[in-house]
């Protein structure tokens, strides 16, 4: 991701409806990991500018991993448990973390299987991996290009990858469902109008909306979080996947 996008993300993560609402959904999934031992050690792979660190700290002692360009923004939040490395070569010992979190990061990695194998390595037996990824290739747009995405995922593609990496799937569901149609229409509109633009490079589609509308979007995602306590959602802009590293039986 380009430095300008890190700066934009840092400015938006605390208030932008997508990030705020998504944290409501993530909190419900993180509650499913509370069965592991105390105190919990949590690793966020690809922590970006640190917008999720406060949430993760509610569930355990958190370490953030990313590249130096992103970590400098985390440091500005006075967060010091940071490691600069690639997801494909995690600078962590094996079996070190009870919960590994990778939120909208896997799509940035060319060899996503190698990154998943590294997450499997650093996750303790019986520990959890919580993933979110963008869904559906037909939603591909300049937003993905600007963010440096290699792909968007189908449910089957994501499940196949985590199983091949060694994890046991516990739950996989779509999310950001109520806003699927307006986001789809917006992406289609951007594609149709792209030939009329003279922008030098693709731009991230963070659409600023009035405060009341932003609050309404957040409220919708809170409703989704409540619904996801009870059942999976059939489609959406994102996929949320909770998997577990099997406990090896002693011979």
Residue 201 CB neighbour total at 10 angstroms: 9
pLDDT, one tens digit per residue, over 140-153 is 888 788 778 999 99
Domains in the chain, number: 1
Phi-psi region of 30 (alpha: psi -120 to 50; beta: other; left: phi over 0): alpha
Taking alpha carbons only, the member of 125, 147, 130 closest to residue 55 is 130
* Residue in the structure block whose two tokens are 């309404």: 216
Q: Let me know: does 90 contact 64? Beta carbons within 8 Å.
A: no
Considering the domain boundaries, does residue 203 fall inside one?
A: yes
Q: Does the residue 249 lie in any domain?
A: no
Could you tell me the two tokens for 180? 């699927």
Residue 250 placed within a domain: no
Q: How many residues does the chain have?
A: 251
Distance CA(42)–CA(79), nearest Å, equals: 14
Q: Among 31-45, 101-115, 185-199, 225-239, which is the least confidently predicted range?
A: 185-199
Is residue 175 assigned to a domain?
Answer: yes
Percent of all residues in the chain with a pLDDT value above 90, rounded to a whole number: 61
Rounded Cα–Cα distance for residues 172 and 242 (Å): 6
Q: Which of 128, 135, 112 is nearest to 167 (CA)?
A: 128
Please check the confidence at residue 250 and state whether its pLDDT lies above 60. no
What pLDDT sits at residue 118? Answer: 98
Question: Is 5 or 56 the better-scoring residue by pLDDT?
Answer: 56
pLDDT, residue 109, reads 94
- Token pair for residue 199? 């922008």
Reduced 3-state DSSP string for 152-189? CECHHHHHHHHHHHCCEEEEEEEECCCCHHHHHHHHHH
Q: Residue-wise over 23-43: b if at least 16 C-beta within 10 A, else e? A: bbbbeebbeebeebeeebbbb
Q: CA–CA separation, 107 vs 114, rounded Å?
A: 13
Provide the whole-model pTM.
Answer: 0.89
Rg of the chain, C-alpha, whole Å: 18
For residue 237, give the nearest of 152, 172, 160, 169 by alpha carbon: 152
Q: Is residue 14 part of a domain?
A: yes
Q: In whole angstroms, what is the distance from residue 120 CA to residue 88 CA? A: 11
pLDDT confidence bin for 198, thresholds 50/70/90:
low
Please indicate, yes or no, if residue 251 is contained in any of the structural domains. Answer: no
> In the predicted model, is pLDDT for residue 251 greater than 50?
no
User: How many helices, marked H, and strands, marked E, lie in the chain?
Assistant: 9, 7
- Containing structural domain, residue 118: 3-244
* For range 124-143, the mean pLDDT: 92
**In this predicted model, what pLDDT tens digit does every residue of 2-33 receive, in sequence order?**
556 666 676 778 888 888 999 999 999 998 88
Residue 71 belongs to a domain? yes
So what's the pLDDT on residue 199? 57
Over range 230-251, report the average pLDDT.
88
Instruction: Note the pLDDT tens digit of each residue in 226-240.
Output: 999 999 999 999 999
Q: Which tens digit of pLDDT belongs to each residue from 158-175? A: 999 999 999 999 999 999
Inside any domain, residue 230: yes
Report the percentage of the chain scoring pLDDT > 70: 88
Return the CATH number at 103.
3.40.50.150
Residues whose CB falls within 8 Å of the CB of residue 129, separated by 6 or more in sequence, listed in order: 99, 100, 101, 102, 119, 120, 123, 162, 167, 242, 243, 244, 245
């Amino acid at each position: 991701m380009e430095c300008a996008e890190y700066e934009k993300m840092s400015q938006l993560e605390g208030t932008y409806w997508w990030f705020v609402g998504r944290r409501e959904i993530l909190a419900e999934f993180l509650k499913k990991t509370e069965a592991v031992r105390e105190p919990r050690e949590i690793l966020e792979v690809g922590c970006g500018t640190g917008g999720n660190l406060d949430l993760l700290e509610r569930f355990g002692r958190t370490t953030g991993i990313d590249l130096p360009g992103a970590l400098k923004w985390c440091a500005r939040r006075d967060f010091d448990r940071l490691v600069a490395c690639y997801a494909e070569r995690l600078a962590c010992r094996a079996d070190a973390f009870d919960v590994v979190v990778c939120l909208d990061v896997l799509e940035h990695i060319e060899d996503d299987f190698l990154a998943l194998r590294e997450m499997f390595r650093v996750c303790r037996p019986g520990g959890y991996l919580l993933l979110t990824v963008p869904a559906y290739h037909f939603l591909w747009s300049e937003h993905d290009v600007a963010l440096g995405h290699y792909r968007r995922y189908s449910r089957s593609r994501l499940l196949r990858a985590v199983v091949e990496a060694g994890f046991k799937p516990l739950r996989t569901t779509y999310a950001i469902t109520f806003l699927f149609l307006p986001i789809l229409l917006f992406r289609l509109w951007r594609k149709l109008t792209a030939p009329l633009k003279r922008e030098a490079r693709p731009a991230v589609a963070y659409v600023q909306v009035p405060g009341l509308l932003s609050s309404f979007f957040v409220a919708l995602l809170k409703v989704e979080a409540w619904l996801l306590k009870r059942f999976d959602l059939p489609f959406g802009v994102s996929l949320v996947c909770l998997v577990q590293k099997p406990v090896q039986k002693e011979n």
